[in-house]
Structure 1
Amino acid sequence: MRAPDPAGGLAAAALDRFRGRLPRAIDLTLGRVHRLLGRLGDPHRRLAPVIHVAGTNGKGSTVAFLRAMLEAAGLRVHAFTSPHLVTIHECVRLAAPGGGRLVEDAVLADALERCDRASADDPVTVFEALTCAAFLLFAETPADVVLVEVGMGGTEDATNVFDAPAVSVITRISRDHAEYLGDTVEVIARAKAGIVKAGRPIILAPQADPAAAAVVAGTAARLGAPLHAAGADWSVETIPGGFRYRGARGVLDLPPPSLTGAHQMVNAATAVAALDALSGEGPRIPDAAVREGVRTARWPARLQRLTGSSLADALPPGSDLWLDGGHNDSAGEALGVQAAAWAADGLPLGLVVAMLAVKDADAFLAPLASRVTALRAVPLLGALPGGARGMAPERLAGAARAAGIADAAVAAGVHSAVAELGARLGRPCRVLICGSLYQAGAVLATVRPGSG
């Protein structure tokens, strides 16, 4: 969970007061959350059916597809996601007729103030306060389904307070947040599997590492949780003009996802599998609504094209500019696949990269390196959680050269890096800004409205 933005209004100011009382940005325990929710009347026990989503990569995109599909079916949907990109209000989406809306500043600030009063003698972290405020608002606003994305891990994440979620989902698991979750995929998978609940269905997306799948399967078996695993119980495959899902609803041919990248077909199919499991507790989501959700889902900074922006204007005519917040080995792999697909049009690819100091730049860049013509490493901007530091651009450029990107250098910032790559490549080109959601948020906050 990132720190709140300084321009976020009343809600951001309310969150700052929590930071002043308990300055730790991340503290993975559940006791404080349970106590605060109890003082608030246990709002998490008064919600519509909950779909709880954990994983390393694809959580937010899967939630975006779920929300689009459910709303296309005419259902009212709450959603809690993190981190935000530009303002803290992005984390809380409240159900409304015709589609959900981001929470209003005064509404979120009021909920946070109530959390503040209830927790006065028992401080909580910023993310814990935001989570409890979201659940409070979700309990007070009618909805048909609640979507909740795990912040980090699963077992001790502040969102892991549901005794019997309607459906739990675990997307692809890979190495990330090793300083909090552990440094092996097996250990991280055990943390993610903490959202599995006795007797409740669990959807498992395709896993690159069989060890991760084995951990989740073992947890599900121990708890008697019905496991719906990719490859065994449902599948996704690319077909001409889109992709095919096979699962509980049968065979369903779907259009290309609105979100760019082959990995988004997997995320969309994971969402369909979750809806099939949800149908045991509610209405079956029609195929037409699933198709509409696949076509219309939106999720910023996930291979988002920035059109009509001041940054794009710095590139030669005929160029395009993209933004992605991926920052680990799995994200690098997904971007590498996309870079291979892009190569068909012959445009040289330039990268503008910034990362947190704790991230593995080598693992992120390795799958991309063979497709990159030039790279510029820049300082990390944006509001960072307490104690976090950006990776030195010199270190990042060195990692790029070691990965095989010969033309890798340092630039002063994103704008100068984009302009420099445009001049260096000297003809229509493609530039991808990547490596950090914090940097992505800073970029989205500065480009002209309407970009993307």
Structure 2
Amino acid sequence: VEDKVFAEAIARVAKANGGQKITVFEILTAVTFLLFSEHPADAVILEVGLGGRFDATNVIAEPAVSVIMPVSLDHEAYLGDRVELIAAEKAGIIKRGCPVVIGAQESETAQQVLIETAERLDCPAFVYGQDFLAYEENGRMVYQDEDGLMDLPPHWRIDGAPAGAAVKAAGFEISHRAAEKAMANVAWPGRMQKLPHGRLSELAPKGADIWLDGGHNPGAGVVVAEALAEQEEKNPRPLFLISGMINTKDQSGYFRAFKGLVRHVYTVPVSLSDAGVPNDELATRAIEAGLSAEPVSSVANALMLLRDTWDGPPPRILIGGSLYLAGAVLAENGTPPV
């Protein structure tokens, strides 16, 4: 919708709230439901904010499909300090009799929690590795389920397997051609997004390969590190990390994924969140994870410092650790999402 319509919807929801305590996420979730009720969509994708069971989005009684992606440690203060406890919270979006797609789980315990919940609620369950899967072959992603194979383009940060399974489980037909087009044209701002140009990019060393990713927990760190390792095999470059994080995340766990891969870390403040970790404290967390690190006042200054001190080949630079940071970088770079 247009910005004016969006702003009016926020004002209406705020008025209806009557000054009661409410979080930004909660009020924007209410705005989302209001706008969708007045501007119907062919299909609505609702992403849970935190957990699932008590999340503000979890008010749909009969979803076309519920999708649970890989469960890892995150928001431990609210969801529990063991992956099976977090899985139980996420299983709260599974609704009786409604289809559920379960993505690849590193933890067998977490997967069992999800499967048992689906069985208890008589839900048709589609489980990665049992009912569908995907694998890389000759630089392509091959998706397989009971209907056969689809040879598709890969994407650094899109797990197309549960997406394909979810579309089918929700009752939509998807042709090979449509899936090919979708994977070839998908764009996910702030998730392994390349920044070839922009105000910040111009501050980096000449020829630098700059990437932005908002992943912020150990599981996301592993996924991003694996994507960067693949790039290193194809096109070797020295890798530097510019990172800002908030205090509800496992900072050392995130950094450990990059041990042996990153030459140096520049830690920066996260200006868009009151929960931002001070850059000197974040540098300590990176050092504890076995990385070389130093605090810098901003992403811009980190890029200029690297430009002025690095005398090797054009580097690869990852800016990551927080979606707040990703949003700020896109704005400062002059390349906001469209």
TM-score of the superposition, structure 1-length normalised?
0.71
**Letter paired with 1:268:** G
Q: Is the 8 A contact 1:422 1:429 kept in 2?
A: no
Q: Secondary structure at the match of 1:355?
A: coil
For 1:342 and 1:222, the matched residues in 2 are separated by: 43
Q: Secondary structure at the match of 2:44?
A: strand
Q: Secondary structure at the match of 2:29?
A: helix
Question: How many residues of Structure 1 are paired with residues of Structure 2 in the alignment?
Answer: 336
Q: Secondary structure at the match of 1:270?
A: helix
**Letter paired with 1:298:** A
Other-structure match for 1:390: 276
Q: Secondary structure at the match of 2:307?
A: helix
Q: Secondary structure at the match of 1:150?
A: coil
CA deviations 1:305-353 (Å, max 9, x no partner) are 1111222222232211111111110111012212212323221111111
For 2:294 and 2:54, the matched residues in 1 are separated by: 40
Q: Is the 8 A contact 2:189 2:337 kept in 1?
A: no
Q: Is the 8 A contact 1:198 1:224 kept in 2?
A: yes
- The correspondence of residues 39-438 of structure 1 with structure 2, limited to 5 A, is 103-120=1-18, 124-257=22-155, 260-261=156-157, 264=158, 267-279=159-171, 283-344=172-233, 345-382=235-272, 384=273, 388-406=274-292, 408-427=293-312, 428-438=314-324
Q: Is the 8 A contact 1:339 1:368 kept in 2?
A: no
Q: Which has the higher contact order (CA 8 A, sep 6+)?
A: 1
Q: Secondary structure at the match of 2:198?
A: coil
Question: Would the alpha carbon gap of residues 401 and 127 (structure 1) be closer, same or farther in structure 2, given more than 3 Å must change?
Answer: closer
Q: Is the 8 A contact 1:244 1:251 kept in 2?
A: yes
Q: Is the 8 A contact 1:303 1:324 kept in 2?
A: yes
For 1:350 and 1:204, the matched residues in 2 are separated by: 34
CA apart distance, 1:121: 7.2
**Letter paired with 2:168:** D
For 1:284 and 1:332, the matched residues in 2 are separated by: 34
CA apart distance, 1:256: 2.1
Q: Is the 8 A contact 2:253 2:289 kept in 1?
A: no
For 1:357 and 1:192, the matched residues in 2 are separated by: 22
Q: Is the 8 A contact 1:374 1:421 kept in 2?
A: no
CA deviations 1:184-209 (Å, max 9, x no partner) are 11111111000001110000000111
Question: Would the alpha carbon gap of residues 107 and 251 (structure 1) be closer, same or farther in structure 2, given more than 3 Å must change?
Answer: same
CA apart distance, 1:451: 9.6
Instruction: Give aligned-pair identity as a percent.
Output: 40
Which structure 2 segments of 5+ residues have no match? none
CA apart distance, 1:119: 3.0
Q: Secondary structure at the match of 2:5?
A: helix
CA apart distance, 1:449: 3.8
Which structure 1 segments of 5+ residues have no match? 1-102
Other-structure match for 1:63: none
For 1:161 and 1:324, the matched residues in 2 are separated by: 30
Q: Is the 8 A contact 1:236 1:245 kept in 2?
A: yes
CA deviations 1:250-284 (Å, max 9, x no partner) are 21111123xx25xx2xx2111100011112xxx41
For 1:451 and 1:307, the matched residues in 2 are separated by: 15
Q: Is the 8 A contact 1:343 1:371 kept in 2?
A: no
